[in-house]
């Protein structure tokens, strides 16, 4: 078991190319346990590719990913899920005509019985779904209601709750409040804080600098497929992060390139 002071995830020198396009060019990044780490960058900076490497969609060409101190190679999303890594994408992945509890247990249904005589345990899943949402203080009136009847904020909260329930070690969130209003955004941000307080590690991909400053502990900036900067949130500002993203402020890699 890894020392509690070691990063949950350590990424070193990760590269990934698609034909002539070098999406990642030696990314270094650490994700500390029970913290919110923000992943920032302009479009094309490499954020999505890095997330796909972390979730087993794209294996890196070179470099190393360590999980709890051990090197890992993820060849499919199932590999990531077995490690307790779950992702909430902008599309959410919810089935609108299914009820809340059915979405929470989609493809992970509980069963009861023996051998070939097992049946879906609807009662257990409904009871467990109520407990999951109550524990995270998710405002959903009834777990038997269909997702189609939910607001955007409620849908996002359901998707996050599902990821947090199965993602015992790391939950990756891709722009979790991009389509939400002010009130719903505040509710989702409070949910992110509760996850951190309960010991869940979060990697947050966001263009909202205000949100990053409110909920994150650390921010990494990617630029042109490289790690441009790492900043502790208490020691930076939204303006500095924007400058690092756009290149108006020189990143940490400038000094390394000068030495090289």
Share of the chain above pLDDT 90, in %: 57
Per-residue pLDDT, 256: 43
Q: At 38, list the tokens.
A: 């923000």
Q: From the CB of residue 247, how many other CB atoms can be counted at a distance below 10 Å?
A: 14
Between CA 139 and CA 147, with CA 141 as vertex, the angle to 5 degrees is 90
Q: Are 64 and 13 in contact (CB under 8 A)?
A: yes
Alpha carbon distances (Å) from 107 to 52, 94, 129, 162, 195:
21, 12, 15, 12, 23
Kindly report the average pLDDT of the chain as a whole number: 88
Q: Distance between CA 96 and CA 29 in Å, rounded? A: 36
pLDDT for residue 255 is more than 70: no
**Total-model pTM:** 0.85
pLDDT for 5 equals 67
The mean pLDDT value for 38-66 works out to 94
| Cα–Cα nearest to 97, from 106, 89, 88 | 106
Q: State residue 2's pLDDT score.
A: 42
Question: What is the Rg, in whole angstroms, of the alpha carbon atoms belonging to the chain?
Answer: 19
pLDDT for the residue 238: 95
Q: CA–CA separation, 225 vs 58, rounded Å?
A: 15
Give the domain ranges of the chain: 9-96+170-259
Per-residue pLDDT, averaged over 47-55, amounts to 94
pLDDT tier for residue 198 given thresholds of 50, 70 and 90: confident
* Residue-level pLDDT at 138: 84
Distances from the Cα of 30 to the Cα of 3, 10, 37, 135, 186, angstroms? 15, 5, 9, 28, 27
CATH of the structural domain 9-96+170-259, one choice from 3.40.190.290, 3.30.200.20, 3.40.50.300, 3.30.70.100: 3.40.50.300
* pLDDT score recorded for residue 260: 35
DSSP-derived letter for residue 225 is T
CA distance 185 to 181: 6
Q: List Cα–Cα distances, 186 to 52, 120, 140, 171, in angstroms.
A: 27, 36, 16, 19
Residue-level pLDDT at 162: 87
């Amino acid at each position: 078991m890894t020392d509690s002071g070691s990063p949950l995830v350590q990424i070193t020198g990760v590269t990934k190319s698609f034909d002539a396009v070098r999406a990642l060019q030696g990314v270094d990044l650490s994700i500390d346990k029970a913290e919110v780490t923000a992943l920032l960058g302009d479009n094309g900076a490499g954020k999505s590719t890095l997330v796909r490497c972390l979730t087993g969609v794209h294996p890196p060409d070179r470099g190393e990913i360590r999980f709890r101190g051990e090197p890992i190679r993820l060849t499919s999303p199932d590999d990531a899920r077995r490690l307790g890594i779950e992702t909430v994408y902008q599309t959410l992945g919810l089935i609108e005509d299914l009820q809340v509890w059915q979405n929470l247990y989609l493809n992970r249904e509980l069963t009861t019985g023996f051998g070939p005589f097992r049946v879906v345990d609807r009662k257990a899943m409904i009871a467990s779904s109520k407990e999951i949402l109550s524990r995270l203080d998710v405002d959903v009136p009834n777990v038997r209601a269909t997702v189609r009847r939910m607001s955007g904020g409620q849908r996002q909260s359901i998707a996050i709750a599902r990821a947090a329930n199965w993602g015992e070690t790391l939950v990756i969130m891709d722009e979790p409040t991009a389509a939400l209003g002010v009130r719903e955004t505040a509710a989702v941000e409070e949910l992110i804080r509760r996850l951190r307080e309960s010991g869940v590690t979060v990697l947050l991909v966001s263009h909202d600098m205000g949100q990053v400053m409110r909920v994150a502990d650390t921010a990494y900036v990617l630029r042109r497929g490289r790690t441009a900067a790492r900043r502790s949130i208490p020691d930076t500002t939204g303006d500095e992060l924007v400058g690092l993203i756009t290149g108006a402020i020189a990143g940490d890699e400038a000094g390394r390139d000068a030495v090289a």
